Chains A and B, each alone.
Chain A
Amino acid sequence: MTPAGRRADQALTGSLDGMNETGAPLVEVTGLTKRYGDTLAVDGVDLTVLPGEVYGFLGPNGAGKTTTLRILTGLIAPTSGDVRVLGGAPGQPDVLGRTGSLIESPAFYPYLSGLDNLRLLAEYAEVPRRKVDEVLELVDLADRARDRFSTYSLGMKQRLGVAAALLKDPELVILDEPTNGLDPAGMRDMRRLIRELGSDGRTVLLSSHLLGEVQQICDRVGIINSGRMVAEHNVEELRGEQELVVRAAPRERAQSILTDFLGAGAVHQYDETLRVKVQPEKAAEVNRILVEAGIAVSELHSTERALEDVFFELTSEEKADVG
């Protein structure tokens, strides 16, 4: 289990310092629906974000991610369903004061500098001005803080958006595609920043297209497709059991030896290979047993599924169902 995963488990039992003692979800969405005329943008979504976890919210373009996040921040009203954020209704001043968000593209006043943009947000949010300097340092924008927002690159705009989200020292951070427009170094820094937010005990709800990143950063993920939640699991659960692929000759004898070693049901044949249900770190041992038995092993690798595989599997199944 990842450190972040352990945090989420601790959160469930309320054992993490400074965290919601009851482990009650910070975001609890039940049967959320949003309709625009004949279009059902969000269709009965259930979603739960636990205290202290980094939650990945995934889905193809137009799946309903941003609509859901806008509902969570009170920007749009749901058609039906129950939504609780930090124990209150979305958009209430108390809830907004404890939530930092970056929804879709960062939007700031182009004629103001980054510094002035954050200063005025600090005024709205009633946070001390020193926080502005702190968050500018945090996103590595202090050097360009006095330049106009309109002169910023896409990556700088994105970083300013993240700085704005962190201005209130929020308990819950909602980030919608925060790595959009960032170069590889910027993406790495953003990943690190999100990890730090998580390890500080903050709860992060992250929407991203970069599935590799989500796999690295997030404890749990929810996958939405065509407005419907198709999965919500721990990342490891979602990726499923890992297997070893073994190509060996003679195959029948290799299967017999491995079955004796690992037990019935652990080995099955798939095309020209054997699939062995065993952790990847046992690969060397499997190889040794086969070689010592005089079996020629020509291929041996792990079939660990990436989150990306799961994502495409779930979203394409959904499409097929809909179609």
Chain B
Amino acid sequence: MLGSYRAEVLKLRKRSAVWVLFGAGLVLSLIFGYLLPYVGYATGDENPQTDGVPRGEILRGMLPERVMDNTIGGYPIFAGALALVLGAIVVGGEYTWGTLKTILTQRPGRGTVLASQFLALATMIAIWVLGIFAACALCSIGIAAAESGSMDWPGVTAILEGLAGGWLVLMMWCLAGAVLAVAFRNVALPIGLGVVWILGIETLLAGVVSSLLPDLDVVSNALPGTNAGSLVFSVTGMVAADAPPGVRDAVGGGRALLTLLAYCAIFAVLAVWTTRRRDVT
């Protein structure tokens, strides 16, 4: 198992697409968390971007005390989509390149290979989350220093909860991408379907249910994106008005945590079960 894990990490570490996705996630976090708000803050009250939001509030949103909001606030939607792409390209690539047959004719069993793949993805996602956190922390320090803002930080527990919650959200979407890749034995189709689901269908469903079919909120509250948004909302403690798209208090933090863990388990078991049963042609 350890050998298979090391092999998977080597594959991920040397694959430029993995770092491109990580870079995109990081840059988007910085643009939406710091660059655009800072431009809005610096250009003054007259700017339409700050309409109705006091400059002091904008600054507060960029200071170290709100670093977790900016680190994981985008995870349920855009970083989640990137994580899904990551899962799809890593697992789907084995089918499109035909490398699945190469690794399955070595020593480890199919379950071990897939488990190692998921473990390696979990490791890389942890590195990704930490990287985004470090970049956001540096930005917030810079802004606090430049604007003589407060250098207060969230407590260690709050930071750890935030990082762990963010990791779980990305891991869930990554496994969703992986199971779609196993199902379709491909890369393009899982990415297309997954991204459309995250960016469009789930938001649309939630909107329709809340406005037209409120009795069906039990369905929308069970969806992965809703629970991802609820977990992020819970661990960051942000107010609803400040929350980025996809982050809302639809279900409680505890329920969201359990639902996301269940999704992770279901996706992983489905992927392993399918891989073990199916012929590799």
Contacts and interface: CB of A to CB of B under 8 A. Distances in A.
A109 B156 CA distance: 41
A250 interface: no
B108 A107 contact: no
B97 A109 contact: yes
8 contacts: A73-B105, A76-B281, A108-B97, A111-B14, A120-B7, A120-B10, A123-B4, A123-B6
A121 B102 contact: yes
A130 B85 CA distance: 36
A121 to B, nearest CB: 6
A125 interface: yes
Given A107-B97, A108-B99, A111-B16, A121 B279 contact: no
Contacts of A75: 101, 104-105, 279-281
A164 B7 contact: no
Contact of A74 (B7, B102, B104): B104
B106 to A, nearest CB: 4
A123 B107 contact: no
A96 interface: yes
A321 to B, nearest CB: 28
A93 B109 contact: yes
A124 B280 contact: no
Contacts of A105: 98
Count class of interface residues, chain A: 20 to 34
B3 interface: yes
A77 B281 CA distance: 11
Could you say which of B16, B101, B106, B113 has the most chain A C-beta atoms within 10 Å of its C-beta? B106
B223 interface: no
Interface string B205-227: 00000000000000000000000
Given A75-B101, A107-B101, A109-B99, A123 B281 contact: no
Contact of B105 (A99, A108, A109, A123): A99
Given A75-B279, A119-B10, A123-B10, A103 B3 contact: no
A44 interface: no
Contact of A96 (B4, B106, B279): B106
Interface residues of B, number: 26
Contacts of B106: 96, 121, 124-125, 168
- Mostly, the A contact residues are loop
Contact of B7 (A93, A107, A108, A121): A121
Interface of A: 70, 73-77, 91, 93, 96-97, 99, 101, 103-112, 116, 119-121, 123-126, 164, 168
B278 to A, nearest CB: 9
Nearest 10 A/B pairs, CB to CB: A107-B98, A76-B279, A123-B7, A124-B106, A120-B7, A75-B280, A123-B3, A97-B107, A125-B106, A125-B107
Interface string B1-25: 0011011001100111000000000
Contact of B107 (A76, A106, A107, A126): A126
Contacts of A108: 97, 99, 102
B103 interface: yes
Contact of B101 (A99, A103, A116): A103
Given A109-B97, A123-B3, A124-B4, A93 B108 contact: yes
Contacts of B108: 93, 124
B10 A124 contact: no
Nearest to A94: B107
Given A76-B280, A124-B3, A107 B102 contact: yes
Could you say which of B15, B102, B109 has the most chain A C-beta atoms within 10 Å of its C-beta? B102
A96 B14 contact: no
Nearest to B10: A120
Interface in B90-137: 93, 97-99, 101-109, 113
A96 B279 CA distance: 16
Could you say which of A93, A108, A120, A168 has the most chain B C-beta atoms within 10 Å of its C-beta? A120
B37 to A, nearest CB: 37
A276 B102 CA distance: 52
Contacts of B280: 70, 75-76
B4 A121 contact: no
A74 B97 contact: no
A108 B11 CA distance: 11
Given A99-B105, A121-B103, A112 B7 contact: no
